[in-house]
Structure 1
Amino acid sequence: MALKHATPLLDELEKGPWPSFVADIKRMAAKSAMCEDLLGQLELSYEEKEGHWKHGGIVGVFGYGGGVIGRYSDRPDLFPKVAHFHTLRVNQPASKFYSTEILRKLCDLWEARGSGLTNMHGSTGDIILLGTTTDQLEPIFYELTHQLGMDLGGSGSNLRTPSCCIGKARCEWSCLNTQDITYDLTMTYQDELHRPMFPYKFKFKTSGCPNDCVAAIARADCSIIGTWRDKIRIDQDAVRAYVGGELVPNGGAHGTENRALDIQEEVIRKCPTRCMQWDGKTLKIRDEECTRCMHCINVMPRALKPGEDTGATILVGAKAPILEGAQMSSVVIPFMKMEPPYEEFKSFVEKMWDWWMENGKNRERLGELIQRLGMKAFLKATELQPDPRMINTPRYNPYIFYDPADVPGGWEHDAEGYRKRHQA
């Protein structure tokens, strides 16, 4: 089927070995006039090097302040089918577990009432339904809630849709019930999720272990990272089997060949705190120095496991580069038991939100406020005690400063002593 708009610039994006969003839109354009005009407007944007979407005011569903992102074309004369092209964010199930029945119903709904284009998923985690008109918003919302049992996610200056990794459902390393935490936070904070009341957006992300498969530490205003506070469990027979070539390192990932593991080079020397020793028969770990980086466990998954006294490390302040540049999370609670109904965690969250709402500027993320007023002010507001593990840059720049005079021999002496103690 020939398209009514010529798209020579967009056609270039279909060339090469990688999948193209242009090809996806063209497939939908065969049965959606909205997608045809979308291609035409996008081509015009490439030609003129200027976006042609405008903000035409707040649009949404009754009773909700978020969940719908209004989008209007500034050239409805050329592309009338995208005069309105609103996006809906739909709250995804925890860990993104779907039945095929729900997915089919969702796609049928969107093809009937929208463009048919979806994004599974946005960076926060939501199901993104791309492109519909204002008159369809209420019918779509009704069908989502009453027929599919789903709800809109967060958008605007509110709590964004909480998200999490696969957790204990399929991962043996998970130290947390990530699905239960995410569901509990979602249900507890409905007002904060649907009615913008914050200085800017706020994201919870939960990872079951320090591998952090949802990249919470880089993206979430509040990261919940599963960890443990007792000793790493060691199967010494399995360690010897890795060294002897009987077990494949890294779980066979990325085509790892069946070979003997060089434990000194691949594990011991790569430990960030050098807290491990191998004498040829027994692996020893000084757990009090372990930073829970997971490297040794990932290399030897049959030999090492997280401890059994599990909980979470709570970090705050990450964001992508928008106004002040990217920020990584900072540790504020090194260990917290995360057990239903999570009252200790929620108490911390509400103190944090109160401080942010009182002191935050418009469009200022939590991490930017901490950067502006200082970690000391944040800790005072949330009633947390300073701790050397509350760090800005791991193993480099602590918030808690020490006088060099308090270290025997000064910093250089101490650093040299560290090197001697931990040299191979």
Structure 2
Amino acid sequence: MSEVKKHDTPMVDELKKGPWPSFVDDIYTYAEKHKKQACFDIMGQLELSYKHKETHWKHGGIVGVFGYGGGVIGRYSDQQEMFPAIWAFHTIRVHQPAAKWYHTSALRKMCDMWDHRGSGIVNFHGSTGDIILLGTVTEQLEYIFYDLTHQLNWDLGGSGSNMRTPACCMGYSLCEWCLFDVQEMDYELSMAFQDELHRPAFPYKFKLKFSGCPLDCVAAVARADLSFIGTWRDDIRIDQEAVRAYVGGELPPNAGAFSDRDWGPFDIKKEVIDLCPTQCMYWDEKEKKLYINNKECNRCMHCIAVMPEALKPGEDTGVCILIGAKSVILEGAQLSTILIPFMKTEPPYDEIKDLVYKIWDWWMENGKNRERVGELIQRVGLNRFLVDVMGIQPIPQHILMPRVDPYIFWREEEVPGGWTRDLAEFRKRHPA
């Protein structure tokens, strides 16, 4: 094994200090053990970037594997003479299993392959959700793809203007609050949309995420173009004896979480009633009984998380479908908007697939380059999207609050005759 060349990295070494684990320690430890020149060069180039206050990665063209348009992100150094081992440092995205359940033998085989074919640096998990294999050269891409798909039974994830790798929470496998089979839906839609996942044809990226309950552990509402959130449409189940046990201090709130901090006596008014976003709850101190106006409940699940022994979701379960979340791209970040407040689902999810294809067809026809579907809806208007594309009438659940300014806009054909007469009468009385 040839001797490796190390670089002086005083600014990068500063990241080793402090109480938190450091990627610098991790990379240097691995590089020393396996004599990986690419790892030393990546640290050397990072030091140079800190010194110059600019990146030294350049985009030198599209790279990939035969038959796939996504899954590989090309990366080249603009300091190839100084750092020859990372002249190319391509990233491979590997499709993670639903809920990120792994067998250790599968992970060991993948890591052995990556030690042989690439830099050995792995990211579990990036914001994309995929397993990220960081750093290889162009000549190794087809070999890596063959090893992943034929030897290890993995596949590449999404990258570019396509459907990105779907992601879900732990679901039934770990969580008592899961309200639909997130892992089954994740797998079924991943298999159904293989062409959209591997061959970019969209205006920009499209993300599907699945959370088993409104606590939304995968942050779908903030990150996904189409979110599926478990919900219910009957009443919250209440165990009044358990509620009294929480109030009396016999049961710890939040299932005993944060037990290292003394929160003092449990105050149901302060911790639950006053924090209800719709103020739909009432604690009768005299009767020692909790009342919930379920028609006003927006299913945030705060009360259930605070008193899990006393409150549980209803039993008539399904999904709430939201659309349009994204981070900062052309415009600012935005959260999802409710599209369908409640839908019952079961495999093979044909109604979900039809819905996705309808959205994609409209987006591909009307979306601009690098325009996420949420930005397109924002540009044309939510009402037009709901009525003209989805064929559904807007309902109160589609908005956070009514308009707070005095200006009302409508198309002439949307105004009923009675409204027109009322408006004409109003203008006679108030000419200004």
TM superposition score normalised by structure 1:
0.91
Q: Where does residue 298 of structure 2 map in the other structure?
A: 291
Please give the alpha-carbon distance, in whole angstroms, between the structure 2 residues aligned to 1:68 and 1:161. 13
Q: Does 1:130 align with 2:134?
A: yes
Task: Provide the alpha-carbon RMSD of the alignment.
Answer: 1.9
Q: 1:71 aligns with which of 69, 75, 94?
A: 75
Q: Where does residue 283 of structure 2 map in the other structure?
A: 278
Specify the SS of the correspondent of 1:351.
helix
Please give the alpha-carbon distance, in whole angstroms, between the structure 1 residues aligned to 2:48 and 2:395. 55
More moved, 237-246 vs 187-196: 237-246
Please give the alpha-carbon distance, in whole angstroms, between the structure 1 residues aligned to 2:404 and 2:29. 53
* C-alpha distance after superposition, 1:323-380 (max 9, x if no partner): 2111111111111112111112211111111110000000001111111111122112
Please give the alpha-carbon distance, in whole angstroms, between the structure 2 residues aligned to 1:298 and 1:396. 29
More moved, 377-386 vs 188-197: 377-386
Q: Does 1:320 align with 2:324?
A: no
Q: Does 1:339 align with 2:346?
A: yes
CA distance 1:2–1:16, shift in 2 (3 Å)? farther
Q: Where does residue 413 of structure 2 map in the other structure?
A: none
Preserved contact between residue 25 and residue 35 of structure 1 (Cα < 8 Å): yes
Q: Where does residue 386 of structure 1 map in the other structure?
A: 394
Question: Which letter does structure 2 place at the counterpart of 1:10?
Answer: V
* C-alpha distance after superposition, 1:197-217 (max 9, x if no partner): 000000001000000000011
Q: Where does residue 89 of structure 1 map in the other structure?
A: 93
Q: Where does residue 313 of structure 2 map in the other structure?
A: 306
Please give the alpha-carbon distance, in whole angstroms, between the structure 1 residues aligned to 2:5 and 2:29. 11
Uncovered stretches (5+) of structure 2, i.e. residues with no partner: 410-418, 420-432
1:168 to partner: Cα distance:
1.2
CA distance 1:129–1:396, shift in 2 (3 Å)? farther
Q: Where does residue 24 of structure 1 map in the other structure?
A: 26
CA distance 1:376–1:140, shift in 2 (3 Å)? same
More moved, 251-260 vs 310-319: 251-260
1:397 to partner: Cα distance:
5.3
Matches within 5 A, 1:44-193: 44-193=48-197
Preserved contact between residue 242 and residue 260 of structure 1 (Cα < 8 Å): no
Please give the alpha-carbon distance, in whole angstroms, between the structure 1 residues aligned to 2:5 and 2:275. 56
1:395 to partner: Cα distance:
4.0
Q: Does 1:261 align with 2:266?
A: yes
* C-alpha distance after superposition, 1:233-289 (max 9, x if no partner): 111111111111111101011126596421111111111111111213221111000
TM superposition score normalised by structure 2:
0.90
Question: Which letter does structure 2 place at the counterpart of 1:273?
Answer: T
Please give the alpha-carbon distance, in whole angstroms, between the structure 1 residues aligned to 2:389 and 2:158. 26
Count residues with an aligned counterpart.
401
Q: Where does residue 329 of structure 1 map in the other structure?
A: 336
Preserved contact between residue 227 and residue 310 of structure 1 (Cα < 8 Å): yes
* C-alpha distance after superposition, 1:76-116 (max 9, x if no partner): 11111000100000000000000110111111111111000
Please give the alpha-carbon distance, in whole angstroms, between the structure 1 residues aligned to 2:236 and 2:136. 52
Q: Quick check: which has more Rg, 1 or 2?
A: 2
Please give the alpha-carbon distance, in whole angstroms, between the structure 1 residues aligned to 2:23 and 2:391. 48
1:2 to partner: Cα distance:
8.9
1:188 to partner: Cα distance:
0.3
1:28 to partner: Cα distance:
2.3
1:402 to partner: Cα distance:
8.3
1:398 to partner: Cα distance:
9.3
Specify the SS of the correspondent of 1:389.
helix
Q: Where does residue 361 of structure 2 map in the other structure?
A: 354
1:384 to partner: Cα distance:
2.2
Specify the SS of the correspondent of 2:397.
coil
CA distance 1:398–1:101, shift in 2 (3 Å)? farther
Preserved contact between residue 61 and residue 141 of structure 1 (Cα < 8 Å): yes
Sequence identity (%): 65
Preserved contact between residue 159 and residue 193 of structure 1 (Cα < 8 Å): yes
CA distance 1:197–1:398, shift in 2 (3 Å)? farther
Please give the alpha-carbon distance, in whole angstroms, between the structure 2 residues aligned to 1:397 and 1:39. 53
